Structure 1
Amino acid sequence: MRKVFSSRRLENAEGVAELLRKAGIEVRITNGRSYRGNRRGTFSYSDPTAPESEVWVVRSEQQLPARELLREAGLIDSTRPGEGYSFRAPLDGTAARTPANRRLLRIKLGLLALIALAVVLAGIHTLNRVDPEPQLASPPFDGSTAATLPPVARAVFASDVVVIDTPVACLGIDGGDASEHLIETLPRQEALLVPATWCVEVADEARGSFHRASGSEATIVDVHAFRPTAPDRGTVEVSAYHHRSWASYKTLEVARIEGEWQVVDVVKHVESRGLMGF
């Protein structure tokens, strides 16, 4: 005889034995039921001293077919002669249903849920994070053009030097969009404030620039050509354009006063509000 399966759960051994018997293989079970047919004692997978029920193939010529049948059923991991047999866990999941394993499973699932939640919250924080805005200009301070600081653009947009006569104002910085975060921090105005690319620039007086989504008339406002003369002072230009005969171009002096950038003077102003040109 040769042992082909063992388990501390008697029902598993009996199931394997029944499988082999149906295939015509003669088997015997050791550490099985008592002579009265009752279950043998109380067993536990966590008890290393619990006796194992073993399935033995009686006839030597049936050992190889038995091992092959068990391997195909997923009950053993090896059928090579001379190797030890690795018997797999019970297929009915009984071990997983023990109180200790259920508690361990709940702990694992809870930890996985916490990890998943942390990953989601970290992703949301990264998406919503707004990097600190630079507050001071960098050298050189020789009148050359630099990237417009967001707080400088915000000061221009919020000042009364930019006149909006249309339902929508499309805001840009250095030819690109003003960020939605910057727009949200501006004082409320009668005009709808949106990024510049949300609007279409049209030179024709009969149509004029308009808001892409609503079709409403729009003024495209762009702050550009920032020339710092010191870390907290410089000049900047702003254009407000509806069409070729309705536009305004200004050069402004800006300075950081008590921690806030402000428009302190209008250096130059060119404007057209009709068909006569500038």
Structure 2
Amino acid sequence: MENKKRYKTPKWSKLNAGKVTPVEPQAGSWPLNFFKRNTSNQWTDLEGKLVSFKIRNPYRIDFAGSELNAVLETQQNLTDEQRTIASYFGFGPPTKQWTPIIDRLIDTYNVNPPRAARILAATQAAMNDAFVITWHLKYTFDIARPNQLDPSIETVLPTPHFPAYPSGHSTVSGCAEVVLGYFFPAERARLREIAEQGSMSRLYACVHFPIDNSEGLRLGRQIGQHIVRELRRDRDGENTPVDNPFKEGKGAILPPPPWEQAMPFPPADPAQNTQQPQRNPFFFF
């Protein structure tokens, strides 16, 4: 049953009050690859048709109650494995963990150079768009982080310097899962597993509420599905579809595990691992 109750949502900016510098608050207005904005600042596809995404209305979510309690319960029962998962996916931005996966797929399937470039470019461009859309929502909704509501929370990782809802790691993971699953359909189950693990890692780190992750993952998959529709439209000079997905599976061994970083150079600032709302066609429920 739909929750009709409206909650007072805690604002990240109000609780931050100049304590840290917000990370890229204008990133939600950056250029996109598979989407456009019309004159009303609405998302459209490349042909100008409105694009709609379903995401839970944050004002119908009990962040200060049930969501915060879930974070506290998670913190009290954290296992060593969950801490490892949190640290692995929290090392650098989300793209850091997905880039080696793309490379491993390209190598496993012996993808030729032009197609390898297309797969790499399409997936990275998709993750860029997922970030732009997520950042627009983050700074529009302005939802506080768990430890802003309860300072007793000891996070596994430094709390990122931007609002919580939805989770960027989750949105990017959901998007990458769908786009890579388009190119490598036999690997979809494993890609989904990685995306869900990456999403859950943010709860294990105690830097996100559960709903940040589940809605972020769902949003990312919607973004990915739209991007796949755009990719399927591409034709070569003979009007043949550009993409020919690798339908025969080769059992790619995709990290993690192991839990060692493929690109271990430490970030300079661990916290980087991280206006009024504009009218956009997001469907709230």
- TM-score interval, normalised by the smaller of the two chains: under 0.3
Query: Larger radius of gyration, structure 1 or 2?
Result: 1
Higher relative contact order (CA 8 A, sep 6+): 2
